[in-house]
Amino acid sequence: MRNRTYTGSMHKDLEMLDSLFLNATEGILVVNDKGKIIMINPCAQRMFGYAEEEIIGQTIEKLIPSRFHSKHIGNREKYTKDPHARPMGKGLDLFAQTKDGREFPVEISLSHFSTSDGQFVMSFIIDITERKRQEAELKSASERLMQTSEALAKLNTDLENKVQERTKELEIANKDLNDSKKEVLKALEVEKELNNLKSRFVTTASHEFRTPLGTILSSASLIARYEGSEETEKRMKHVERIRSAVGNLTEILNDFLSVEKLEEGIVRNNPVQFDLEDFIHSIIEELKTITKKGQQIAFRHKGNTTSVFLDNQLLRNSLINLISNAIKYSEEGKEITVQSTMNGNSIRIEITDQGIGIPPEDQQHMFGRFFRAKNANNIQGTGLGLNIVRKYIELMEGKIGFSSELGVGTTFFVELPYLKP
């Protein structure tokens, strides 16, 4: 009874295996140790296009492209010596060949078994043509996506670059516009200042010219009346008044001409080498002709050298103005001192008077154009001299300053760099 049951069970198992072999959705081949095909299921027949009777007894290489034959034979013999279940050609692209010579990609798994008839290898074959097509499509789509992504990235970069370029252009244009605006405003400010200067010039000139011109006219008229030799002294007095008035007119005109040249930017610093001590001596000698009665100009120089490299014309005009002011604002009989000091780095020139001094509240405005201290309104002047001197000194890369005490006197100092030719 047990034997019949076993036999019946075994029969069912064989029927089940046969059904699985015949109805499997994978191609199945059984090959002996000589590499010859002894079994092929219907799926494999359809896959390769062979009828069972056409392929049974053929070597497995019949189903492989000819370019792989020699290598496959060696791999098959090697597997036969050490058989074990494994996927075939792991990591490689495997190809099979149909009856009509068409190649197609496959995935193969190997398994072995032994019977009394010998050793056998069972191959499970899957046609992966559709998978490969999908993979290729996916790869192509991925590549297109990558290309599109790269194109978008490039487009984005180009757009960003264009935005940056445009932004930079706009910034430059905006800066140019602002610069132009500033230049226009500056030009308008200069124009306004020039108009104010012209207005002040007319006002100042009409006022300042009136006094010396009146003096010249009245003195000239009086000279004509003094015909006798006994009236020579009176005539000379009026001649001196005319000479002084002409000097005042010359000073006023020089001030206005200097302002015009400075405004036009045509005044330049042109240094030359000369002897400072001799230079100041000559200026003092020249100005002695305008000193008041009893006034003395004392000069002394400190330093081991007297040779300097400066613009002698700018310095001359500056010192003449400062010393003339000291004479103008000092009373008769007062001494004016001029001192020059030279060391290795700088030159300092001081002009000290014992004049009327400058009111404390006016001192901060002394270098302003047309400014005059309130205690000097009755003394001839344009209010331009110190402004011009400061500009001259600055052109020579120096500085000017002063200290003053009302009713005691004033000291102006000029500091200039010690340059070498």
Tens of each residue's pLDDT in the chain, 421 residues: 334 344 556 667 778 878 888 988 899 999 998 889 999 999 999 999 999 999 999 999 999 999 988 888 888 888 877 777 666 656 688 999 999 999 999 998 888 888 888 889 988 999 999 988 998 888 888 888 888 888 888 888 888 888 888 888 888 888 888 888 888 888 777 667 666 665 656 555 554 555 555 556 666 666 666 666 666 776 677 666 676 656 656 655 666 666 667 777 788 889 999 999 999 999 999 888 889 999 999 999 998 888 999 999 889 989 999 998 999 999 999 999 999 999 878 999 999 999 999 999 999 988 987 788 888 777 777 778 898 899 999 999 999 999 999 999 999 999 999 877 7
Give the C-alpha distances (Å, rounded to integers) separating 75 from 31, 71, 78, 83, 167.
Answer: 14, 6, 5, 11, 68
**Tokens in use for 303?**
């330093």
Whole-number Å distance between alpha carbons of 189 and 183: 9
Calculate ∠ Cα 200-255-188, nearest 5°. 45
Count the residues in the chain.
Answer: 421
Q: Are 373 and 387 in contact (CB under 8 A)?
A: no
Whole-number Å distance between alpha carbons of 319 and 283: 8
Whole-number Å distance between alpha carbons of 327 and 384: 17
Q: Are 241 and 219 in contact (CB under 8 A)?
A: yes
What is the set of domains in the chain, with CATH numbers? 2-127 (3.30.450.20), 130-266 (1.10.287.130), 268-417 (3.30.565.10)
**What are the residues facing 405 on neighbouring strands?**
409
Coil vs helix vs strand at 151: helix
